[in-house]
Structures are given as structure tokens and as C-alpha cells.
């Protein structure tokens, strides 16, 4: 069976090669491609998402954007359509974890303007920058962080998440309308490169437990807990004159170098886009996707001194070097850009003008993580500790109101409130699992030529992505995580290791749900081959 | 006292200045004649390549069956670099296109060098193997090599003569030079052990199976390089540390230096034929240079880059065959790009007087204990391989493999915890260190060494010695070739001791 499958690939590949002599002309079966970007940078301070503590933005390092790719094959109402939106955000609220739903806010606006597009044809993914506006909840900031926005901003103007979400949705929907309107016949080419960007951030220690981050220069360090995937899955799009219009870049790493920034930033994707446009043209669009990377980060776990020296020698020292630095972002961008530009001539010579194009969305019910009474007891105990800390800090603010004039005074109190909330959700999830043991999630599978894109809303641990890639019949499988509001989906070994990301408070699903996700995703992919 | 006139004063002053000028030039000229070691410049470098391609036909080393090569597709080389600091600390680095470095060969080379250079401390000769599986057999009594085919002792003598002579020549021709170092990344290492739902592991096990759950261990994609320049500023030598063994065409019955050949050719084309390229394999006991997933995508990319010619599917297996020239060139291209990038970045940071310190330690590691079950299994399997003369000839290597387990079990009856002797080197050059071990060391141990090292860069160099797999605890739990007792003289307990020793030796070179 495997042999037959692979012979099929050979024939498929040879048929793709035969297209080299094909002269592109406008044809209803041709792929139509439209691009746009939307600047979703707010014009006043907002909450920055991604840490336990609140951060009220203190400026803009670089713009946060949404990149929109509109694809259509065929004509009329039966044409196959996909609107892909990549956002410089930490996650895409989808109603899974809270009432906020940026995804549907965008969809509603788009289908109102373009009725031929169905909601399930719109995919929104986050790059997971930790320096972008908070979109996870529409609740009051006091409910989210235990401190009001007015207090944090000390009376100055600031935009709440409930105001930012429609602001962003408006801008993104306008971008979709623009991309849809600009779609023109085009082709695509599929490429695979490699770049060492995503690094496993879980450190297994000799006593059997794991931790996220920490100093590996320690006798207690045993090994890196899991795998890394340095594939750079690429899809280049071309107009009929063989001019590059844009690229999808899929990499198994979240963009969180500048994760502690109080300035808004798209992180290393900003530097990558700037460098790519310098090499390939100002008009080139870059649509960034994070592959399964729940246990990955761009932070160097081993050998950071050597990497820092290389950054200095490359002339990036003025940007600051090492962890969290702009030099590190530029170094990552360089690696990605070098690979993309290296493949450029080969990709230009191998354009597929009529790729197979299919898009299916399925609501897949996944088993919630089965929690124990011990899990609840432990989390509740922690919540009580944080409640006491929060009450104490709250009283300090009440007794000393002048303290709010100190910059970032709210850091500790918002940490205590976030951790208090984090402890309480374990109990809520324990009760919910009893009555709703399964939770439906959206899985999109999009086939374009010999490649397939498979989405999930999680911070998906890498092993699950590897399973999907290894068993997929596609030549290249682009796993796209965070097409929803996230939550870690850890492996069995990570749960045994017990690091942040695998503990009950960090997860909605466990390994059972992960296995189901792999199985269901593969079954949809297989229907397309 | 004669009163000094204004004129006299001036004449006196001129004379004084003349005297000072003459003195200065005399001293300057004299200093030029002194050894450079008294100046800031105190690094001396020599480098040379020597051909060690065996006389054909030759048996090639690395698989369980006997393979006879009639053809040498590429030369095999030994690449020699001599480093001297302050005219006293001398280190010799020798990288050989071989599967391992038998202790016997190392000692032959040391003894021959000692005869010509009695003052040289031959303990400080580091000889490593690139682990090509298409080099001449160097391990005696492992294969039944037919008559008319180059015999192991003859090949060892040939290599020893050539390498020793080259070391002596290179030492005598050493000249002031400089060094730099750097790091880049390239996807060359692929962990070759797949783990399945039932917890078992398999070396080269399929990842497309429905019960595949993960790749067992880590991969290290760092490509670390050392660069050496001579007095004129010519780029004369490089050591490239790749954590993946050179065994792309490992199944051939030909002589081939594997991916190091196109790496050397590519770098020489760019930087000149004088360049000596030493291939250093990092901790890579569980790695291979062939893709383990995304095979079709990798295959397709190679095809596109090569005008749609590509590695083909392995006949009747349904697997992509990467054991060919295209993939050799693909991997070589990745390494060359990484080395180029590093070179261009660090060439502005040359060091003419780096700290050089070289420590050598001989230690003993506890051997992996053979259980009764493992002993009985070895007895049974050996008997099957020896069932007739033809089988015994074909599987001569495997018979030795099982026999060693049987022998170890017998020894354990009188010595329940035998020890395994190991030679370790730690060589500091400026801010970086090279630490060696004789094993096919699983990558996780190398990562531990790198993480706990005080050096800016840590080059882990495996197969500085006779080799055999040193697996992790998880690999032993998963089983299969490379993590079973037949494959291991030393197990995870010894592996951790090895790491601790290596880290201690490294960090001793960076006193607080």
C-alpha cells in the first residue's frame, strides 16, 4: 500500500514537472490570489497580552498587522474559497475560553460585505507575539487583572480589550474585502527549507521532573524534554507574469523574542518581513504561520554565549544582543530570509498554475483533560495563597494611593490576580468535564497542490505535529496552530514532567484529546488524497 | 665642571638622541630575530592532508556483512593540524575518513611520531574518525577478509606510516598563524530512533506507521567551525563539527569518504586547494544524515535543485532512497553554506595569541552489565549465524558481536562490575573547548556537556577511539540496535559519569 502511495507521488510529481512548459493564461480553473495587510496597531495604550502580569503598552516598537490571503478556484457560488488571515496577536479568541470572539467578529463583518464567502472559509491564525494587544476577553480589565484600566493608565486615555476587538475586526475585515477584490489569476510553488528558529524550551532534570526555561548550565539538567522541528514550509505565490506576490512561511516556533516588551511589536516577523521585502521587493506579502510549537520558543537553551557573539560580529550589537534582544530577532530573520531567497530561483522555475484546491472545516469533539480531585485540591490551595497575596497588595494600594504614580506599579498585584484566577479555573474545568466531557474545536484542512494545511486552536506540543506530518499523504504538511484562543495541549511525557504548559491550569485537553486531534485531522487529510 | 654652552648642549642632545635611536633600532632588529613566542603572536599552525585510500580490493568497515570494494569513488584522507602555543604546548589534530580509530592504530601513530620527534608529547595527538562506513576495515578480527584483499594489519601499517610522516612534516613546517571560531546551523542531523505506542523504539523505524508517537531523542543542528590562517593571512585549515555521522552511502561496497568529500571539494573550490578540512563528528550515536520524515518533500526539493533528477525510491520498499550522490551534495551544500556564513562573520575576529591548554585523562567507566537473558540470547543468535560455513562467512562480524556478549558474561562471573578504560581530551583554544570521547555518543550527552561547559563554544568530538554506542536511559528502555547490550560496552550510568568527567575537565581550563 505504501509502495503504491509513493508511486502515486512519483506520478503526481512528474505531472507537476510537466507544467513547466505550460503557458499561463486566464482560465476559470486557475487559482486566483489576492493579498492585503491591515494595520491593527491601536492609536492609544492597550493591554499587552502574554504574561501573568498586566502590561499597559508604552509605545509602538513596530506595527502589529494582519496579513490576508484570499484564494479562489473555479467560478460562481461553487468556487472553492479560502480566506487566510495571519495576525500579530498572541491568540485568536474564538469563544472557547471566554466570551470574546475576535474570529467571529471578523467573519461576521466579512460575510456581511461579501455574502458569497462562508464563515467556515475564513481561517484566522495568530503568530503568538507576546507584545500585541489583548483580545482574549471582553470582560472589564478589573475582572481580567484585578486592577481597573483607569487605575493602570492613571486617568490617561487607554483602550480596553472590549473596545480593541471591534477596532481590530473592522480593520481586518476591510483588509479581507480589499484582498478579495484584488484577487487575480496566479500560481503557487511549494518549497521546503530549514531554519533553526524554534527550540524546545522544556528542560528535563535528573530527578525526573521538567521545567520550562531555566539555566541548563546546572548539574541537575539532564536533557531537553522533547523534539524540535526545523522545517521551513514555504508556499510562494506568483502573478501571471511570474512576479512574486507573497509567501506563506510556516515555522515551528512562536514569535516571542520580545515577550516582555511594553511596546507593541510583531516580534521577529517584523524583522523578517522587512528583510524579505528588501531582498524580494517592497510589494511582497508575508503570511506567517506557527506550526505545532507548544513546547517551543525562539529562546536559546544551550550555547547562548556563542550565539550572542555571532550576533555582535554580524553587526547587530547596537540592537542589544542575547535573550529578548532585537539582535536575536534580526538573526532569526536572517536565517529565514537566507533560506527563502536561496530557494527563490527554484521556486520560480516550478510554478503550479492549477493546483488542486480543497478546503474543509470540521467541528471535531475532543476529550477534555480528565482532572483528579487532587488536581483540584492543589490548584484551589494555590488559588487561596494568591487570593491572600492579592488582598494584601490591594490593601496596600488602598492605603497608599500615591503608589499608582510609580511606573508599572501594577505588576505584582496583577500577577497575584492572574494566578488566583488560574487556580480557580481548574475547579471549573473539573466540574465541566463531568457534564461536557467533549469539547468541539474547529479543524480546517486545506489542500493546495501537493501540500496540505491542517489547523488547530491550541499551543500544540510538537510531537502531535510530527505525528501528523509523518503520517500525512501530502508531500508537505503545514500544521498551523493557534487558529483559535489557545491553551497548551501537552504530551504524556510532558505531563509526567510537570512543567508549566502541562499542568492542569494550563490545559483544556490532555494526551487523549491530542491523540483524537491527530486521528481526526489525518482522517480529513486522507479524504483529500 | 665644564660649563655647558648652549651649542654644546645642543650637540650633546643630538648625540643623545642619536644614541637612543641607534639603541632602539638595535633592540628592534634583535627582537625581530627572537622567536615570535616572546611577543603577543604566539600561535603556530601547520596543516596538511594525506591520502589514506587503501589498496584495492579492500574490505570496507561498518556493516554486519563483509563488503569488498573494487572501486574507490573518492579518496580517503587524513587531515592533520598542528597547533603550538608559546613554543611549548603542542597539540596535533588528526581527522581520518574511517569508521573508528582502533587503539592499536593510535599507538602505532604515536610511536612512529615519537621516533622522529622525541620531544613531542604524543599523548596530545587527537585522532578522530568521521565514521564513514565505506572506508577500509580497521578493526582486526571482526570480518573474515578473503585472501587477495587488503588485510587489516597491512592497512593499519599503511595509514600509520602516512599519518605519522605527515604529522612530522607538518610539525616541522608550522608557522605563526591565527585562529577564530564560530557557530551556525544546518539541518544535517536526523534522530534515527522512532518510538511507538507500546514504548518500544526502533533504529530507522518508520515514522509513517500509525503507532508512531515520537522521535526518541534530540537533534543538534549546530555547525561549529574553527578557522586557521597562516602568517601571510591565507586561510589554511578548518575543523568543522557536525553532530551527524558521515554515512549517507553506508551500504555501498565501494570506497567513499561520504559527505566530507563534497564538503572538502566545495570549500577548496571557494577558498583554495591549500585548505585542509578536518571533519569532526559531534555527539551523534543516535543520528543519521538521512531524513526521517518529510522524505518526499526532501526528495522533491533535491530533484528540483538538480533539474528534476533525484534520489529514487528504493526498489520494492516504497521508501525514498537518499543513499546517493544527490543527497551527498545536498548535505554537503548545507554544511558549506553554514561554514561560509560563519567564516564571513568571524574572519574579523582573528586571535594570534589565544590561550591554549590541553588536558588528557585516562579514566574507567562502569561497563553495562550483561544479564543472563541477554547472555542466552547471544548464545542462541550466534549459533544460528554459525549454522554453516557460508553463513559463518557472511555473518562473521555479527558472530564476533554476539561472542563479545558471551565473553563479557563469563568475565562477570569473577568480576561482577568490569570497567571500561577511556581516554578523554579537553583542549582549550581561546574561548572555545574541544572535548573528546571514544564512543558513538547519543546526542543528549553532548548537549549536557555543551550546557554545563564554561566555554563560549564547546566542540564535542566523538569517535576519538574505538567507538561503540553509548545510549541514554530512554533508549535502553526502548531497546533495539544501538541501545542493546550487544551494541553497548558502557550504558547510561557510565554515560553520566563520562559527562561529569568531561565537564570537570573543561571547566578546569577556565579557572574562576
Report pLDDT digits (tens) over B373-387: 999 999 999 999 999
pLDDT tens by residue, A378-393: 999 999 999 999 999 9
Residues A311 and A318 sit within 8 Å (Cβ to Cβ): no
C-alpha distance from residue A508 to each of A23, A50, A263, A504, A519 (Å):
51, 18, 30, 8, 18
Chain B residues within an 8 Å CB radius of A226 = 214
Domain identity same for B341 and B381:
no
Domain identity same for B84 and B170:
yes
Q: Is A373 helix (H, G, I), strand (E, B) or coil?
A: helix
pLDDT at A3: 42
Q: Which of B208, B341, B452 sits opposite A221 (nearest CB)?
A: B452
Domain identity same for B472 and B382:
no
- What is B138-197 written as a DSSP string? -STTSS-PPTTSB-HHHHHHHHHHHHHHHHHHHHHT-EE-EEEEEEEE----EE-EEEET
Chain B residues within an 8 Å CB radius of A221 = 448, 451-452
Chain B residues within an 8 Å CB radius of A309 = 182, 456
The whole-angstrom separation of Cα A162 and Cα B450 is 47
The whole-angstrom separation of Cα B402 and Cα B398 is 6
Domain presence at residue B28: no
Residue A24 is classified by DSSP as P
Final residue before a domain boundary, out of B346, B381, B416: B416
Q: Provide the shortest C-alpha distance from residue A232 to chain B (in Å).
A: 11
Residues A126 and A102 sit within 8 Å (Cβ to Cβ): no
Which site among A10, A11, A12, A196 would you substitute to test the B interface, given the most B Cβ atoms closer than 10 Å to its Cβ?
A196
Q: Provide the shortest C-alpha distance from residue B461 to chain A (in Å).
A: 16
The whole-angstrom separation of Cα B135 and Cα B254 is 8
Q: Is A314–B345 a contact, with Cβ atoms under 8 angstroms apart?
A: yes
The rounded radius of gyration (Å) of the Cα atoms in chain B is 26
Residues 6+ apart with CB under 8 A from B329: B262
Q: Which residue of A has its CA nearest to B432?
A: A306
Q: Is A305–B456 a contact, with Cβ atoms under 8 angstroms apart?
A: yes
Domain presence at residue B29: no
The whole-angstrom separation of Cα B457 and Cα A300 is 14
What is the band of B141 on the pLDDT scale with cuts at 50, 70, 90? confident
Domain presence at residue B68: yes
The whole-angstrom separation of Cα A63 and Cα A289 is 18
The mean pLDDT of B497-507, rounded to a whole number, is: 98
What is the residue range of B399's domain? 370-416
Residue B4 has pLDDT above 70, yes or no: no
Q: Provide the shortest C-alpha distance from residue A508 to chain B (in Å).
A: 21
Domain identity same for B218 and B124:
yes
Chain B residues within an 8 Å CB radius of A192 = 294, 297-298, 300-301
Domain presence at residue B14: no
pLDDT at B32: 45
This model of the complex carries an ipTM of 0.92
Q: Is A310–B183 a contact, with Cβ atoms under 8 angstroms apart?
A: yes
Q: Provide the shortest C-alpha distance from residue A270 to chain B (in Å).
A: 22
Instruction: For A454, list phi and psi in degrees, rounded to 5.
Output: -130, 125
Domain identity same for B412 and B425:
no
pLDDT tens by residue, A212-237: 999 999 999 999 999 999 999 999 99
The whole-angstrom separation of Cα B325 and Cα B323 is 7
pLDDT tens by residue, A307-349: 999 999 999 988 788 899 999 999 999 999 999 999 999 999 9
Q: Is A466–B215 a contact, with Cβ atoms under 8 angstroms apart?
A: yes
Give the residue extent of every domain in chain A: 28-355, 373-435
Domain identity same for B288 and B305:
yes
Domain identity same for B396 and B486:
no
Residue burial A152-188, b: 16+ Cβ < 10 Å; e: rest = bbeeeebbbbeebbeebbebbbbbbbbbbeebebbbb
Q: Which of A6, A313, A493 sits opposite B346 (nearest CB)?
A: A313
Residue that the C-alpha cell 525526573 belongs to: A208
Q: Which of B182, B207, B217 sits opposite A310 (nearest CB)?
A: B182
Low-confidence ranges of chain A (pLDDT < 70): 1-29
Q: Is B451–A302 a contact, with Cβ atoms under 8 angstroms apart?
A: yes
Domain presence at residue B171: yes
Q: Is A223–B213 a contact, with Cβ atoms under 8 angstroms apart?
A: no
Give chain B's mean pLDDT: 92
pLDDT tens by residue, B325-362: 999 999 999 999 999 999 999 999 999 999 999 999 99
Q: Which residue of B has its CA nearest to A471?
A: B208
Domain presence at residue B276: yes
pLDDT at B511: 82
Q: Which of B219, B345, B452 sits opposite A217 (nearest CB)?
A: B452
Q: Is A475–B452 a contact, with Cβ atoms under 8 angstroms apart?
A: no
Strands of B197-340, DSSP E: 201-203, 212-215, 222-229, 235-242, 276-281, 287-288
Which site among A17, A213, A224, A335 would you substitute to test the B interface, given the most B Cβ atoms closer than 10 Å to its Cβ?
A224
Q: Which residues pair with A66 in a beta bridge?
A: A38, A87
- What percent of chain B has pLDDT above 70? 90
**Residue B34 or residue A506, greater confidence:** A506
The whole-angstrom separation of Cα A496 and Cα B501 is 30
Chain A residues within an 8 Å CB radius of B214 = 226-227, 463, 466-467, 491, 493
pLDDT tens by residue, B35-81: 443 446 699 999 999 999 999 999 999 998 899 999 999 999 999 99
Q: Is B451–A346 a contact, with Cβ atoms under 8 angstroms apart?
A: no
Domain presence at residue B220: yes
Domain identity same for B255 and B359:
yes
Q: How many CB atoms lie within 10 A of CB A52?
A: 14
Q: Is B292 helix (H, G, I), strand (E, B) or coil?
A: coil
Q: Which of A230, A349, A470 sits opposite B212 (nearest CB)?
A: A470
Domain identity same for B164 and B56:
yes
Count the domains in chain B.
2
Q: Which of B184, B217, B305 sits opposite A346 (nearest CB)?
A: B305
C-alpha cell at A144: 481580567
pLDDT at A15: 47
pLDDT tens by residue, B436-457: 999 999 999 999 999 999 999 9
Q: Is A200–B218 a contact, with Cβ atoms under 8 angstroms apart?
A: yes
Query: What are the percentages of helix, strand and coil residues in chain B, rounded to 5?
Result: 35, 25, 40
Q: Which of A6, A196, A221 sits opposite B448 (nearest CB)?
A: A221
Please, is B260 exposed, middle or buried when counting C-beta atoms within 10 Å of its C-beta (0-12, 13-18, 19+)?
buried
Domain identity same for B349 and B411:
no
Instruction: For A410, list phi and psi in degrees, rounded to 5.
Output: -85, 0
Q: Provide the shortest C-alpha distance from residue A323 to chain B (in Å).
A: 16
Domain identity same for B274 and B394:
no
Q: Is A196–B334 a contact, with Cβ atoms under 8 angstroms apart?
A: no
Residue B499 has pLDDT above 50, yes or no: yes
Domain identity same for B184 and B296:
yes
Q: Is A303–B450 a contact, with Cβ atoms under 8 angstroms apart?
A: yes
Amino acid at each position: 500500500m505504501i509502495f503504491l502511495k509513493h508511486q502515486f507521488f512519483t506520478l503526481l510529481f512528474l505531472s507537476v514537472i510537466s507544467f513547466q512548459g505550460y503557458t499561463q493564461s486566464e482560465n476559470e480553473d486557475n487559482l486566483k490570489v489576492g493579498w492585503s495587510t491591515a494595520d491593527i496597531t491601536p492609536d492609544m495604550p492597550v493591554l499587552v497580552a502574554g504574561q501573568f502580569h498586566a502590561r499597559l503598552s508604552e509605545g509602538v516598537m513596530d506595527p502589529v498587522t494582519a496579513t490576508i490571503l484570499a484564494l479562489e478556484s473555479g467560478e460562481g457560488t461553487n468556487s472553492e474559497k479560502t480566506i487566510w488571515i495571519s495576525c500579530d496577536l498572541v491568540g485568536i479568541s474564538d469563544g472557547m475560553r471566554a466570551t470574546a470572539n475576535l474570529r467571529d467578529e471578523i467573519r461576521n463583518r466579512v460575510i456581511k460585505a461579501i455574502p458569497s464567502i462562508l464563515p467556515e472559509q475564513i481561517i484566522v491564525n495568530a503568530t503568538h507575539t507576546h507584545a500585541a494587544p489583548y483580545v482574549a476577553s471582553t470582560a472589564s480589565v478589573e475582572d481580567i487583572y484585578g486592577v481597573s484600566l483607569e487605575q493602570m493608565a492613571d486617568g490617561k486615555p487607554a483602550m480596553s480589550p472590549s473596545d480593541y476587538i471591534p477596532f481590530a475586526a473592522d480593520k481586518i475585515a476591510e483588509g479581507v474585502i480589499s484582498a478579495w477584490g484584488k484577487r487575480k489569476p496566479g500560481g503557487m510553488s511549494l518549497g521546503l527549507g530549514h531554519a533553526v528558529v524554534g527550540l524546545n524550551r522544556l528542560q528535563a532534570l535528573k530527578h525526573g521532573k521538567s521545567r520550562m526555561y531555566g539555566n541548563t548550565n546546572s548539574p541537575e539538567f539532564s536533557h531537553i524534554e522533547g523534539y524540535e522541528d526545523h522545517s521551513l514550509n514555504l508556499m510562494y505565490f506568483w502573478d501571471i507574469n511570474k512576479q512574486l506576490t507573497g509567501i506563506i512561511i510556516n515555522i515551528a516556533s512562536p514569535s516571542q523574542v520580545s515577550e516582555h516588551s511594553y511596546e507593541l511589536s510583531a516580534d521577529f516577523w517584523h524583522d523578517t518581513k522587512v528583510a524579505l521585502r528588501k531582498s524580494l521587493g517592497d510589494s511582497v506579502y508575508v503570511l506567517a504561520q506557527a506550526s505545532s510549537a507548544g513546547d517551543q520558543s525562539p529562546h536559546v537553551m544551550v550555547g547562548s554565549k556563542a550565539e550572542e557573539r555571532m550576533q555582535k560580529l554580524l553587526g547587530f550589537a547596537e540592537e542589544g544582543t542575547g535573550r529578548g534582544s532585537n539582535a536575536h530577532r534580526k538573526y532569526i530573520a536572517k536565517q529565514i530570509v537566507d533560506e527563502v531567497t536561496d530557494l527563490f530561483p527554484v521556486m520560480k522555475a516550478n510554478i503550479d498554475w492549477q493546483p488542486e484546491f480543497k478546503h474543509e472545516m470540521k467541528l471535531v469533539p475532543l476529550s477534555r483533560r480528565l482532572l483528579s480531585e487532587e488536581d483540584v485540591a492543589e490548584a484551589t490551595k494555590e488559588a487561596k495563597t494568591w487570593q491572600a497575596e492579592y488582598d494584601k497588595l490591594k490593601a496596600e494600594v488602598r492605603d497608599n494611593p500615591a503608589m499608582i504614580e510609580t511606573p508599572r506599579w501594577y505588576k505584582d498585584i496583577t500577577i497575584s490576580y492572574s494566578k488566583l484566577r488560574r487556580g480557580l479555573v481548574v475547579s471549573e474545568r473539573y466540574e465541566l468535564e463531568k457534564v461536557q466531557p467533549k469539547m468541539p474545536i474547529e479543524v480546517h484542512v486545506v489542500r493546495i497542490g501537493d501540500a496540505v494545511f491542517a489547523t488547530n486552536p491550541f499551543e500544540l506540543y510538537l510531537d502531535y505535529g510530527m505525528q501528523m506530518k509523518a503520517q500525512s499523504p501530502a508531500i508537505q504538511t503545514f500544521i498551523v496552530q493557534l487558529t483559535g484562543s489557545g491553551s497548551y495541549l501537552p504530551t504524556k511525557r510532558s505531563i509526567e514532567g510537570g512543567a508549566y504548559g502541562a499542568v492542569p491550569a494550563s490545559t483544556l485537553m490532555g494526551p487523549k484529546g491530542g491523540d483524537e486531534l491527530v486521528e481526526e485531522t489525518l482522517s480529513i487529510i486522507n479524504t483529500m488524497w | 665642571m665644564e660649563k655647558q654652552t648652549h651649542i654644546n648642549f645642543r650637540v650633546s642632545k643630538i648625540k643623545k638622541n642619536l644614541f637612543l635611536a641607534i639603541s632602539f633600532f638595535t633592540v628592534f632588529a634583535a627582537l625581530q630575530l627572537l622567536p615570535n613566542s616572546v611577543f603577543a603572536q604566539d600561535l603556530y599552525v601547520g596543516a596538511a592532508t594525506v591520502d589514506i585510500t587503501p589498496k584495492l580490493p579492500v574490505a570496507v568497515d561498518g556493516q554486519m556483512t563483509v563488503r569488498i570494494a573494487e572501486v574507490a569513488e573518492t579518496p580517503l584522507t587524513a587531515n592533520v593540524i598542528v597547533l603550538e602555543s608559546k613554543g611549548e604546548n603542542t597539540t596535533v589534530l588528526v581527522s581520518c575518513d574511517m569508521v573508528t580509530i582502533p587503539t592499536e592504530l593510535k599507538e602505532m601513530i604515536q610511536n612512529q611520531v615519537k621516533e622522529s620527534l622525541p620531544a613531542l608529547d604524543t599523548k596530545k595527538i587527537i585522532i578522530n574518525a568521521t565514521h564513514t562506513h565505506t572506508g577500509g576495515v580497521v578493526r582486526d578480527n571482526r570480518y573474515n577478509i578473503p585472501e587477495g584483499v587488503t588485510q587489516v594489519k597491512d592497512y593499519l601499517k599503511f595509514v600509520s606510516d602516512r599519518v605519522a610522516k605527515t604529522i612530522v612534516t607538518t610539525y616541522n613546517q608550522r608557522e605563526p598563524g591565527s585562529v577564530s571560531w564560530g557557530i551556525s546551523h544546518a539541518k544535517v542531523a536526523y534522530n534515527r530512533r522512532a518510538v511507538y505506542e507500546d514504548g518500544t523504539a526502533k533504529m530507522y523505524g518508520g515514522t509513517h506507521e500509525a503507532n508512531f508517537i515520537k522521535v526518541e531523542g534530540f537533534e543538534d543542528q549546530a555547525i561549529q567551525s574553527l578557522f586557521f590562517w597562516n602568517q601571510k593571512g591565507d586561510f589554511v585549515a578548518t575543523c568543522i563539527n557536525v553532530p551527524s555521522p558521515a554515512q549517507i552511502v553506508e551500504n555501498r561496497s565501494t570506497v567513499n569518504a561520504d559527505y566530507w568529500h563534497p564538503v572538502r571539494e566545495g570549500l577548496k573550490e571557494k577558498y583554495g586547494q591549500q585548505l585542509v578540512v578536518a571533519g569532526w563528528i559531534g555527539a551523534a550515536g543516535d543520528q543519521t544524515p538521512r531524513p526521517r520524515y518529510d522524505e518526499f518533500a526532501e526528495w522533491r526539493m533535491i530533484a528540483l535543485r538538480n533539474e528534476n533528477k533525484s534520489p529514487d525510491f528504493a526498489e520494492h520498499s516504497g521508501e525514498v532512497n537518499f543513499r546517493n550522490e544527490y543527497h551527498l551534495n545536498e548535505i554537503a551544500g548545507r554544511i558549506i553554506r553554514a561554514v561560509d556564513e560563519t567564516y564571513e562573520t568571524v574572519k574579523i575576529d582573528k586571535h594570534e595569541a589565544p590561550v591554549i591548554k590541553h588536558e588528557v585523562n585516562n579514566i574507567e567507566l562502569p561497563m553495562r552489565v550483561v544479564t543472563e537473558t541477554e547472555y542466552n540470547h547471544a548464545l542462541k543468535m550466534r549459533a544460528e549465524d554459525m549454522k554453516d560455513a557460508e553463513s559463518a562467512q557472511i555473518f562473521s562480524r555479527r558472530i564476533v558481536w554476539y561472542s563479545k556478549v558471551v565473553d563479557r558474561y563469563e568475565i562477570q562471573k569473577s568480576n561482577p562490575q568490569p570497567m571500561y578504560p577511556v581516554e578523554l581530551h579537553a583542549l582549550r583554544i581561546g574561548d572555545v573547548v574541544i572535548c573528546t570521547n571514544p564512543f558513538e555518543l547519543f546526542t543528549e550527552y553532548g548537549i549536557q556537556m555543551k550546557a554545563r561547559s564554561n566555554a563560549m563554544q564547546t566542540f564535542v568530538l566523538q569517535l576519538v577511539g574505538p567507538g561503540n554506542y553509548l545510549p541514554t536511559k530512554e533508549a535502553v528502555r526502548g531497546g533495539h540496535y544501538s541501545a542493546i547490550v550487544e551494541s553497548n560496552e558502557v550504558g547510561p550510568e557510565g554515560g553520566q559519569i563520562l559527562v561529569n568527567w568531561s565537564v570537570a575537565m573543561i571547566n578546569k581550563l577556565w579557572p574562576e
